[in-house]
Structure 1
């Protein structure tokens, strides 16, 4: 697999960026790749603690992995310079790399420090940073003097990345007028069991990394709301209702595997108990780690792939959230309860935001484009991302196969209409293709 990937890097003409010859033994290399994946998951665990929304989760992944990328780019070189090609150049001032530069330490420490500063409970990552230091000292990879130099370097990179993050208008979200659902038929309104308010209604105002604007990749309009039994909307509503009443075990397994709803709650009497679930972005960050390990690519290549997956996810959610609150379409649960069956409930719990397009579909398709570009169209892998959450692994023959399954899972779950899934895939692919075209001479 290593030779195939090296050839792929050369084929896509990443200038001087190619899979590096490993200076360490293969076992150590795999440990380094696993450490990167583990620390990305450490971010996910804090997000679970804080119940971070799917768009906000991708913002954290994006800046944290950007930090790992910058630490690598300035300390080691060899990676494409993306700073000049972002929508807004971070204007990073490269600090002097430490002597005996250790890529694994600096990338992971920077990643953790950026996450620590961006999340409300980021202090939980302090223990992970201490564990990282102890590992490198105990393994005699770095002396205490080396550690001090590496920490200073990583902290400076993290400081500049966080400064860049603070200019993306995220902090303005809390200043907007509170969102109020529109009056009239066919518009979104809160659903059972928690009847939560809409999540991140102004997310489209956050600065993207690559796309020109939140509305740049607007999908085709959704089927117009209609109670006419011959209309597209009514037929799709009926499809969700009929399908949900005859789900196969395989369809239920698919729906559960891709649920990824951080807002899911269980009602017990008068109590609403939060169910800890990873976000869609977190699921795909896990897949990126699994894929990089299987491909056995060099650590700097893996960091680059992770960073591009994370920033693509960020832009995909901006694009999707723009459409959600523009079309503002009613969820199947609300529509079916009002027009078909007041007692009906979907197989999955309905997330608290408008229906069109499907966030899973947009995000999954955008990442599938990126990972396919780097690792190949027939890259098979076993997705173990959900084992931590008590779900079995699933095997896929390609990233597109996984993305398409993620999309249709929302139909099986009863939380999206078909056109939201299909048009979401198309929207996500366009975002992913634009990102690649921004960096490389990409032809879909």
Structure 2
């Protein structure tokens, strides 16, 4: 089911179709073990807002370790986004599985879950980012100091350590490290429609190896491979090219200041921008520690699988980027045309930003509800700008528009990407119990 069509300025050329809005049916998407996840609350106005102390098991520890994870990944970031997404996924899958082991009810269950989550995330991060071990040890000591001593705490710590070891072992050699992600791609001979290195820099292709990596939930990288992009002699292709030529040019006369701001804001990496957005969903949840950990596990597992599926479609069709099409193609050739932003070094179809957004929207719509109280986001590529959002689909809309206004993607690549991401996200939700129970 396609995601909502974003609104944008009029496009030269033929009228463009508007896909229907996706269904909002939520319970059918979830496996039995996740059916109680994440209702809305309006208590937290922004991703940076402090969290009040809460009783054990209510989810406050998840926020603490969310922030620890974010700091750790930022401090030790790999050059490949999929590697950083993997770090989040491994840590929170271990945490979610450990929290599900909690026995019985009452205060002891919450104490077990809090200790399990802290222990699991600590151990995974210490293994994957050993330079941060002292900081991680300090954070773990602070969490455990807030949990009453006793068998529940001890068993939770043990469960977290056990699941961390298990998930780390299961994901060893999964091909999501930077060297594997950037496996060299042999550039095909230049031809109409075929990707070639792009200015400025004409860097070699990146992320080719993602399609060779082992997913978390997908059966294989090509499971949801997209159909081919529009033919070069089609009306859709011509309209796409005319739109990006007009609205994505560095010196565009038709792109509005608001559209330029959108392009700048969403030029940053998807993981960076969605880290704050996802924290809003977790902070506003009424869910338990286990519920919130499950949301994070599913979000990041779906993100990794989406990046794998994106690479599969990209390197199957190897579609040229707009800058190459405009400078060397047969439609209105303009060798001097420049996009607003430099073009990333991989093929056009589909947009990776849009696939990430589609997967994120699918998971957050299902587990946090499609609408929430306003929250603000900032972006490192748009200093001083704050944008307010009230629904996850609005982030998808801006992602789709931004890549056109940046001059680096066709709208077809963006819309197809959002649909692919949504498909992978919904698949992850349907198979949630398989992820969370360890039956992989």
TM-score, length-scaled by structure 1: 0.75
**Shift of the alpha carbon at 1:16?**
8.2
- Work out which of the residue numbers 194, 203, 212 in structure 2 matches 1:205: 212
Does 236-245 or 339-348 show the bigger shift? 339-348
Alignment partners' CA distance in 2, 1:250 and 1:357: 25
Alignment partners' CA distance in 1, 2:390 and 2:166: 40
Deviations 1:57-95 (A, max 9, x none): 3222221211211221234589xxxxxxxxxxxxxxxxx
- Given the alignment of the two structures, is residue 18 of structure 1 paired with residue 8 of structure 2, yes or no? no
5 Å-filtered alignment, 1:113-152, equals 113-118=123-128, 122-136=129-143, 139-141=145-147
Contact kept, 8 Å, 1:9 with 1:19, in 2: the verdict is no
Residue in 2 aligned with 1:46?
75
**Shift of the alpha carbon at 1:158?**
1.5
Residue in 2 aligned with 1:341?
334
Deviations 1:91-143 (A, max 9, x none): xxxxxxx999543343134224323434xxx1233133123134236x55366
Contact kept, 8 Å, 1:348 with 1:414, in 2: the verdict is yes
TM-score, length-scaled by structure 2: 0.76
Alignment: residue pair count: 384
Alignment partners' CA distance in 1, 2:159 and 2:385: 40
Alignment partners' CA distance in 1, 2:222 and 2:280: 32
5 Å-filtered alignment, 1:94-173, equals 101-118=111-128, 122-136=129-143, 139-141=145-147, 153-170=159-176
**Shift of the alpha carbon at 1:44?**
3.2
- Given the alignment of the two structures, is residue 183 of structure 1 paired with residue 201 of structure 2, yes or no? no
Contact kept, 8 Å, 2:94 with 2:121, in 1: the verdict is yes
Cα distance change on mapping 1:17 and 1:429 into 2, 3 Å: closer
Contact kept, 8 Å, 2:98 with 2:116, in 1: the verdict is yes
Residue in 1 aligned with 2:93?
66
Alignment partners' CA distance in 1, 2:373 and 2:124: 32
Deviations 1:303-337 (A, max 9, x none): 11111111111111111110001111111123223
Cα distance change on mapping 1:153 and 1:358 into 2, 3 Å: same
Helix, strand or coil at the partner of 1:397: strand
Deviations 1:182-225 (A, max 9, x none): 11222222223343221121211212222222112122311234
5 Å-filtered alignment, 1:174-253, equals 174=180, 178-185=184-191, 186-225=193-232, 232-244=236-248, 245=252, 246-253=254-261
**Shift of the alpha carbon at 1:152?**
5.3
Contact kept, 8 Å, 2:175 with 2:212, in 1: the verdict is yes
5 Å-filtered alignment, 1:75-94, equals 75=102
Alignment partners' CA distance in 2, 1:192 and 1:411: 17
- Work out which of the residue numbers 274, 294, 300 in structure 2 matches 1:304: 294
Contact kept, 8 Å, 1:44 with 1:282, in 2: the verdict is no
Residue in 1 aligned with 2:319?
329
Cα distance change on mapping 1:412 and 1:31 into 2, 3 Å: same
Contact kept, 8 Å, 1:41 with 1:286, in 2: the verdict is no
Alignment partners' CA distance in 1, 2:312 and 2:159: 38
Residue in 2 aligned with 1:364?
357
- Given the alignment of the two structures, is residue 438 of structure 1 paired with residue 431 of structure 2, yes or no? yes
- Given the alignment of the two structures, is residue 32 of structure 1 paired with residue 61 of structure 2, yes or no? yes
Alignment partners' CA distance in 1, 2:390 and 2:266: 17
**Shift of the alpha carbon at 1:438?**
2.7
Residue in 2 aligned with 1:266?
none
Cα distance change on mapping 1:215 and 1:60 into 2, 3 Å: same
Cα distance change on mapping 1:136 and 1:423 into 2, 3 Å: closer
Alignment partners' CA distance in 2, 1:176 and 1:45: 20
Contact kept, 8 Å, 1:110 with 1:158, in 2: the verdict is yes
Alignment partners' CA distance in 1, 2:166 and 2:86: 16
Helix, strand or coil at the partner of 1:384: strand
Residue in 2 aligned with 1:55?
82
Unaligned ranges ≥5, structure 2: 1-25, 39-50, 434-440
Helix, strand or coil at the partner of 2:371: coil
Alignment partners' CA distance in 1, 2:104 and 2:338: 53
Unaligned ranges ≥5, structure 1: 1-7, 79-97, 261-278
Larger RCO, structures 1/2 (Cα 8 Å, 6+ apart): 2
Alignment partners' CA distance in 2, 1:371 and 1:154: 25
Helix, strand or coil at the partner of 1:27: coil
Alignment partners' CA distance in 2, 1:374 and 1:18: 9
